[in-house]
Homo-oligomer: A and B are copies of this chain.
Amino acid sequence: MSLSLNQRTTRRWTVAEAVDGCVRHGLEAVGLWRENVAEQGLAESVKLVREAGLRVSSLCRGGFMTAGGLPGDEGRRAFARALDDNRRAIDEAAELGAACLVMVVGGLPGVTPGEPLPAGTADAGGAGGTGDGGVAAGGFSRDLAGARERVAEALAELAPYAGERGVKLALEPLHPVYCPDRAVLSTLGQALDLSLAYPEEQVGVVVDTFHVWWDPRLSEDIARAGRRIASYQVCDYLHPLPADVLLARGMMGDGVIGFPPITKAVLAAGYTGDVEVEIFNADIWAADPDEVVATMKARYEDVVLATG
């Protein structure tokens, strides 16, 4: 395993700056984000990582493909848009030679990430009408099982497309705190079960310590995943959570996660890819990126690899 910088950890860096930073700090791989790649330009980004001799450990991210659970034309259009966008993401991942395209599958249909629930659904009047999984006007769906079916349907469309382009889709289970708005995939076991219908080179899973550290089945599901593990991402889980739960990710050692058992299990499962550090954190984003990378390297050795 080898350390990789997910560029979101050094959020102010462009692709060019992140590539330079990786080279300067002796890292062999970088995880890129689609919006940064778009700003840099896809062709230019490809050129930068190739000339620097870096591996692209992942492209973040595809997914958000549950809105098909909205009723009627709204749902059909949303599903089609999601497939189109994911095909573009797959094309970009292929161009970049990314080891995988990380898939954050989306939350309940109609719930926008980080936004309050749509008006008119969460009051008394709407409660009965939507409790059975139906959707109030302009609203969202509480049909969690249905949302999960939409993910499986989208995957059936996208996995062959990815396979033809040599791209591996990496299904990322997110901490259950993100189930309403970001990912109805909530456990590694669930993501793994979904992947099994496809060849290993088409669909894998992400083990992100932040999202899965609490899971009582983690060890056995990591072992069961084996070579399905497409990405091992590490960061810590802060406690208490900050007001914006999206920013609850911390530098390894700053939170509650005991990394060694997880790292050992991932190694024992046969994972030999890069280990990405991906941290969303206001303090880390405000700090000097070079200092962040230096700390990240030290903590990776001291905390993540401290399996002895």
**Chain A interfacial positions (CB closer than 8 Å to B):** 108, 111, 114-117, 122-124, 126-128, 130-133, 140, 142-145, 148, 175-177, 179-181, 186-187, 189-190, 213-217, 237, 239-241, 243, 245, 252-261, 295, 298-299, 302-304, 306-308
Q: Residues of B contacting A243 with CB < 8 Å?
A: 243
Task: State the main secondary structure of chain A at its contact with B.
Answer: loop
Decide: A126 and B258 in contact? CB cutoff 8 A. no
Decide: A306 and B114 in contact? CB cutoff 8 A. no
Q: Residues of B contacting A237 with CB < 8 Å?
A: 180
A–B Cβ pairs within 8 angstroms, 26 of them: A114-B240, A117-B255, A117-B256, A122-B254, A124-B295, A124-B299, A124-B302, A127-B252, A127-B299, A127-B302, A130-B258, A131-B259, A131-B302, A131-B304, A131-B306, A132-B306, A132-B308, A140-B256, A143-B258, A148-B216, A175-B176, A177-B177, A180-B256, A186-B214, A186-B215, A187-B216
With both beta carbons as reference points, the residue of chain B lying nearest to A256 in the complex is identified as B180
Decide: A260 and B131 in contact? CB cutoff 8 A. yes
Most buried by B among A128, A140, A215, A257: A128
Q: How far is the CB of A208 from chain B (nearest CB, A)?
A: 14
Decide: A133 and B258 in contact? CB cutoff 8 A. yes
Q: How far is the CB of A247 from chain B (nearest CB, A)?
A: 13
New contact pairs (10) apart from A132-B306, A187-B215, CB-CB < 8 Å? A116-B240, A117-B255, A124-B253, A128-B303, A130-B258, A131-B306, A142-B258, A143-B258, A179-B256, A186-B214
Q: How far is the CB of A46 from chain B (nearest CB, A)?
A: 36
Decide: B303 and A239 in contact? CB cutoff 8 A. no
Copies in the complex: 2
Pick from B127, B131, B258, B295: contact of A132, CB below 8 A. B258
Most buried by B among A142, A175, A190, A254: A142
Interchain CA distance A260-B145 in the complex, whole Å? 12
Most buried by B among A124, A256, A259, A299: A256
Q: Residues of B contacting A187 with CB < 8 Å?
A: 215-217
Q: Residues of B contacting A306 with CB < 8 Å?
A: 128, 131-132
Q: Residues of B contacting A253 with CB < 8 Å?
A: 122-124, 126-128, 131
Q: Residues of B contacting A239 with CB < 8 Å?
A: 111, 116-117, 180-181
Decide: A241 and B177 in contact? CB cutoff 8 A. yes
Most buried by B among A127, A243, A298: A127
Q: Residues of B contacting A127 with CB < 8 Å?
A: 252-254, 299, 302-303
With both beta carbons as reference points, the residue of chain B lying nearest to A248 in the complex is identified as B177
With both beta carbons as reference points, the residue of chain B lying nearest to A301 in the complex is identified as B128
Pick from B131, B303, B307: contact of A303, CB below 8 A. B131
Decide: B144 and A258 in contact? CB cutoff 8 A. yes
Interchain CA distance A260-B256 in the complex, whole Å? 35
